Chain A
Amino acid sequence: MDAGTVVHTYCAVPGATEVGTAGGIDGSSVSTVAVGRVALVIGELSAERYGADAWRKHATDSEWLAEVVGQHHAVLQAALAETDVLPLRLPGIYQDVAALRRIYAAQEDALAQALSSIRGQVEMGAKVYLSKATPAAASAASGESGRGYLTRRISEAAEREESRQRQQAMVVEAHDTLSQQAKRAVVNEPQDPALSGRREPMLLNAAYLIPRNSQNEFAACSETLHHALASEGLLLEVTGPWPAYNFAELSLSKAPAP
């Protein structure tokens, strides 16, 4: 093997799966390496451009990261159209296929188990934004007495609080409803406005693991929710199907002997 390359891991798929051979990072080809009952989807990349040092160097380079992350994800998304996909965390870089095999061999069973736990499932994402704030205080009417002003302010504050609580309850309810459609659900921290690119506060950032064949039901359910939430000034945004990023878990077995 060329010393100038590293092996980049994309994801794990069921053994004997055929994946496309093009469309990897930097236009590289994509292939599979069998590890027990699973196959690792990998690509050989330039060590100089995508090795560990390159990762360190570019870790705050948003342009570089966005490109690599986007290309990495595209491979998983394409594989998802064909088969079950178990995402592997970036950066997954190995010296060569032999090193990769040695490390993964020790995790063979755990990997197969993790893959089987998402068999036939895809991930859907749901985010709820506060699209309309609770009613704002009206400007003071002219000639209003001090007492009248105070009374009005207090009742407005109570109204806002009520509306806020109603919105919160609706978000919880929406999550419950979507969770009922799902095998598993995960609630993540709301995205920072800098990351989401939206100024509205994010009230829910969740992911749902649903059977591949119940996507229509999930879509119908979220459409109903979308309308119900909109009437309360909340915006539901659904994304997917995604590879099961939020549900890829490994129960670790012992580390390989040196």
Chain B
Amino acid sequence: MVPRSSGGLTPRGNPPQNLADVLERVLDKGIVIVGDIQVRLLDIELLTIKVRLMIASVERAQEMGINWWEGDPFVSTHGPREHEGDQRTLELQRRVEALERQADGGVAAPQPDAIDEKGE
């Protein structure tokens, strides 16, 4: 469980770290070691886009008056499929689908020693 931020200055020794700050760092920063047989560049790109999708859906939920982040951070949000009218969501969804097709078609069954060609 992540401590939540109350805003304002950090009381020393007790950093307010809200979920947004943690998500931003953990999912978007840190060293990437490419070449793993299971998780490739493609997957990482896919994940990043999906996280953006998630954020878009949270945004939509908030517009509808559901303040997801200010409530319990572990309450599920609406899936992107419920917001098909949203242009940005649609665009991202198409990109995800294209990537997924690529993933399913191109590298359907990763071989134990297949190193990602893009990995270096």
Interface residues of A (CB under 8 A from B): 6, 9, 11-12, 51-52, 55-56, 59-63, 65-67, 69-70, 72-74, 77, 86-95, 99, 103-104, 106-107, 111, 114, 125, 188, 191-197, 215-216, 219, 222-223, 226, 235-242, 245-246, 248-250, 252, 254-256, 258
Contact = CB atoms under 8 A, between A and B. Distances in A.
A226 B19 CA distance: 22
Contacts, number: 193
A70 B7 contact: no
Contact of B47 (A73, A91, A114, A215): A91
Contacts of A194: 55-56, 58-59, 61-62, 68-69
Contacts of A70: 1-2, 19, 22
Nearest to B6: A237
Nearest to A194: B59
A188 B55 contact: no
Interface in B10-46: 10, 12, 15-27, 29-39, 43-44, 46
B8 A61 contact: no
Size bin of chain B's contact surface: 35 or more
A246 B29 CA distance: 6
A134 to B, nearest CB: 21
B40 to A, nearest CB: 9
B5 A237 contact: yes
A196 to B, nearest CB: 5
Given A56-B46, A72-B26, 12 more contacts: A52-B43, A62-B68, A70-B22, A77-B17, A87-B29, A99-B36, A194-B55, A194-B59, A223-B9, A226-B9, A242-B17, A245-B29
Contacts of A67: 74
15 contacts: A63-B76, A72-B26, A73-B26, A88-B33, A94-B37, A103-B33, A107-B33, A125-B21, A191-B24, A197-B67, A197-B69, A197-B70, A241-B15, A246-B25, A250-B31
A69 B113 contact: no
Contacts of A111: 31
A104 B33 contact: yes
Nearest to B19: A66
Contact of A248 (B19, B30, B114): B30
Nearest to A255: B120
B31 A114 contact: yes
B108 interface: no
A254 B9 CA distance: 44
Contact of A65 (B9, B23, B79): B23
Given A87-B31, A90-B27, A195-B69, A55 B43 contact: yes
B38 A240 contact: no
Contact of B58 (A9, A99, A195, A235): A195
Interface centre among A52, A239, A248, A249 (most CB of B within 10 A): A239
B10 to A, nearest CB: 5
A77 B16 CA distance: 13
B23 A69 contact: yes
Contact of B30 (A62, A196, A245): A245
A99 B53 contact: no
A195 B17 CA distance: 13
